[in-house]
Amino acid sequence: MEFETYQYFARKTAVFPKEFTVIYPAMGVASESGECLEKIKKQLRDKNCNWEDVEFKEKVAKEMGDVLWYLANLAEDLGMNLNDVAELNLKKLKDRQDRGVLKGEGDNR
């Protein structure tokens, strides 16, 4: 599935007050990312880092999907296309790779 298609259908299921555009999906990205991390933390604690566990992968995939849903709606609220966001990110990473600065700190490497 293309990001553009996903973004279109994600928006069809968006139910939040218009006065909270941008902030609502941004908060959702943060909270769902935390839920994803929570699943990983518990797997670390209870299952000794068994990253191949099928049930674990399914739980994490569902949380990752929630993160994607909120990102798609955030992009929509900002008038952005998720395909363009993904391409921009890959260009940034390729540039950093070409300059040998994938590792390090700061946004402007």
Instruction: Please give the pLDDT value at position 16.
Output: 92
CATH number belonging to the domain at 3-81, selected among 1.10.150, 1.25.40, 1.10.287, 1.10.3470: 1.10.287
109 token code pair: 């490497």
Averaged over successive runs of 10 residues, the pLDDT of the chain (109 residues) comes to 96 94 98 98 93 96 98 98 96 94 83
Helix or strand run (H / E) with residue 28: helix 23-47
What is the per-residue pLDDT for 105?
82
Q: What is the pLDDT of residue 107?
A: 80
> Residue 18 has what DSSP assignment?
G
Reference 68, options 92, 35, 106; nearest CA is: 35
Task: Give domain limits for the chain.
Answer: 3-81
